[in-house]
Amino acid sequence: MEKLSKMKNTSTQKRFLKKKGYTESDIPSILDKVRFLQRGRRKFPRASQMQYTESSLAQASSMEIAKYRSWKVFSKLGKIKHSIDLCGGIGGDAIAAGLRWKVTVIEKDQSTFDMLEHNLEVYNVQNNVTSILGDINDLIAQSKFQEVIEEADYIFFDPSRRYDDQRTVKIEEYIPPLSLIDKILPLNQNICVKIAPGVDIPHIPYECDIEVVSLRGEVKEIMLWFGNLREHSNSQNIVATKLPEKLTLVKNLNKYTESSIELVSNLKKYLYEPDPAAIKAHLINDLAIMFGMSTLHPQVAYLTSEKYIGSPWLKCYQVIESCPVDIPRIRNLLKKHEIHRIDCKARGLTLDLNQIQKELKSKGKNIGLVIFTWVNNEKTAIIAQYLWDFTSSKGSYVN
């Protein structure tokens, strides 16, 4: 299984299994197990030694994010003796914290609890982590457990984001409910809460710092930070974090005033696509102000500029030409610029990109992309080429 998971494609895996004597009927189930291991590996370096299910793996933070979280807590609080993980799951966060300090982790489901204890041993943190089989809703009502919460340096709360065995983005459907925060805050304010990346940020009903985290260009989760874990104790902030680089953009919501951004009528030389964490955190206008760029449309997360801007927060495309969304005309432009292989993207428009890509076959020696979006109030096809030279390695602050 280990060797199969490292092979590049399914065809190679199938040939390998056939040489080993497996029949056609055996191969699909074996490859399903390989895919499961590969999904685990994307989150945990030691996935092949761990125990987890499809559901528990889907809800677990990757080890990279869990380690970032424990690093941030340590950087905010300094020395930490003990923390509490209220909903342990398969143990990713308990492991990351247990590599730094003592942890008490709670899990109510017996089978998940067994996987948790096994996984603690895989990472050799079992002596630093005390695991309790129990329901936090019952424990929180007990005075002795309330004392444990009061004495902890930090509380981590990661409720289940599944409802009727389906994934949910509705915070009122979390188990335990998000309102558990209201019971913990009077006991201990140093809380971090993990919620789903699909949550609508304006609907979060707490005055706390809100952090959106992307990992390798994909938003993975949102974190709510309370107490001394906030950026500033006297203000509320929205934070976008880009991992693995540990880059952050921070906006103080208490001081924020809407600034006017130029809305372009014509595309400029370069088109920029912000990192998804900045998009989700509603920091598009802030990036535009920071770098002196213009927006294409109030509801579209693309920016444009005559200047090349090398920033890890921005994917840069060089604009070749643009036209209305008209397939024959786009095809002629691709032919004119000798672009034979294209990628297609759409933002703000609903289109069948697979069908469009088939229709836009052209001859030539160049590679490019066609972006379908709004420029001002016009449906537009932007023909561009990739630019990958991101030179800046430092994070930026949005004040």
> pLDDT, tens digit, for every residue of 180-218?
999 999 999 999 999 999 899 988 999 999 999 999 999
Mean of the per-residue pLDDT values for the chain? 88
Number of domains in the chain: 3
Each residue of 24-76: pLDDT tens digit?
776 666 666 667 788 889 999 999 899 999 889 999 999 999 999 999 999 99
Residues 228 and 319 in one domain: no
Same domain, 98 and 233: yes
- The domain of 39 spans 2-43
Structural domain includes residue 114: yes
pLDDT of residue 257: 57
For residue 263, being part of any structural domain is answered with no
Q: Do residues 64 and 195 share a domain?
A: yes
Per-residue pLDDT averaged across 68-93, rounded?
A: 95
Residues 113, 213, single domain; the answer is yes
Domain check: are 117 and 183 in the same one?
Answer: yes
Type and span of the H or E element at 107: strand 102-107
Pair 64, 36 in one domain: no
Q: Nearest 5°: CA angle at 259, between 258 and 264?
A: 125
82 part of a folded domain: yes
Q: What is the pLDDT of residues 337-346, one digit of tens each?
A: 988 888 899 9
Report CA torsion sign: 44, 47, 52, 54.
Answer: positive
Give the lowest-confidence range in 5-9, 102-106, 224-228, 277-281: 5-9
Dist CA 379 CA 86 (whole Å): 49
Position 208 in a domain: yes
Question: Does residue 49 lie in a domain region?
Answer: no
Same domain, 354 and 307: yes
Contact criterion met (CB below 8 Å) for 192 and 224:
yes
In a domain, 392, yes or no: no
Q: Provide the sign of the torsion angle of the four alpha carbons 336, 341, 347, 353, taken in this order.
A: positive
pLDDT digits (tens, 9 = 90+) for 209-256: 999 999 999 999 999 999 999 998 788 999 999 999 999 999 988 775
SS3 state at 187:
coil
Q: Are residues 352 and 288 in the same domain?
A: yes
389: pLDDT strictly greater than 50 = no
- Residues 159 and 177 sit within 8 Å (Cβ to Cβ): yes
